[in-house]
Amino acid sequence: MLMQDSRTTDHWYALFTRYQHEKLVATALSNKCYDVYLPVYRAVHRWQDRDKQLSLPLFPCYVFLRGGLDRQLQILTTPGLLHIVSWGGRPAVIPPAQIEAVKQILGSGLPVQSHPYMRCGDRVRVRSGPLMGLEGILERTKGQARLVLSMEMLGRAAAVEIEAWNLERVGPVPVLPFSRSGEATA
């Protein structure tokens, strides 16, 4: 019999699911008595004849699980689940503060939506407003997002502060190399 370390029962782990199987996986794991968290937000989708309010996963293809890794076989045999996100051959621990932050923004009543992850140095384009269509490099200074426009011929650049929600990544999305087991390779 395996004893679970009491210190690991409060750890959160990310589970990677098939596309649009997040709710199925969360429900199945909840039915198996696991502590599961699937953050969702409300979105209105418009079709030609009607509008429909949907509940969508904030992080597509991910469900969060607290503890329970002593029963990994039960977890991994859940329909729609592909793997437990791992780092260095071990399940990657999600800091509880990050899960609590997600719960706080979802509980705030403010409009929330899924947004692509962008890092400093990513090439981005402005989606709307007076700078719509401009492309540059994302930079963050003192918590503010900045769009840096380069004048290569002059060896100079200009930067303008902009809301990060108004930016979209240009070009291919940088991908961490993962093995078939879902483990990130460094």
pLDDT > 70? residue 182: no
Show Cβ contacts of residue 103 under 8 Å, excluding neighbours closer than 6 positions: 37, 39
Return d(Cα 103, Cα 109) in angstroms, integer.
Answer: 11
Percent of residues, the chain, with pLDDT higher than 90: 42
Give the max Cα distance, the chain: 69
Q: CA angle, 24 as apex, 110 and 65 as ends, to 5°?
A: 70
pLDDT level of residue 140 (50, 70, 90 thresholds): confident
Q: What's the pLDDT at 172? A: 66
Q: What's the pLDDT at 16? A: 95
Return d(Cα 34, Cα 14) in angstroms, integer.
Answer: 13
Q: What's the pLDDT at 86? A: 92
Choices 1.10.10.10, 3.30.70.940, 2.60.40.1730, 3.40.50.2020: CATH for 6-114: 3.30.70.940
The answer as to CATH 1.10.287 being correct for domain 123-169 is no
Average pLDDT over residues 57-75: 94
Task: Give residue-wise pLDDT tens across range 98-137.
Answer: 899 899 988 988 778 786 777 888 899 999 888 888 888 9
pLDDT > 90? residue 9: no
- Burial class of residue 186, CB neighbours in 10 A (0-12, 13-18, 19+): exposed
All CATH 2.30.30 domain ranges in the chain, comma separated: 123-169
Q: What's the pLDDT at 121? A: 87
Percent of residues, the chain, with pLDDT higher than 70: 83
Q: Are 151 and 136 in contact (CB under 8 A)?
A: no
pLDDT > 90? residue 29: yes
Strand pairing partners for 40?
57
pLDDT level of residue 154 (50, 70, 90 thresholds): low
Q: What's the pLDDT at 178? A: 46
All CATH 3.30.70.940 domain ranges in the chain, comma separated: 6-114
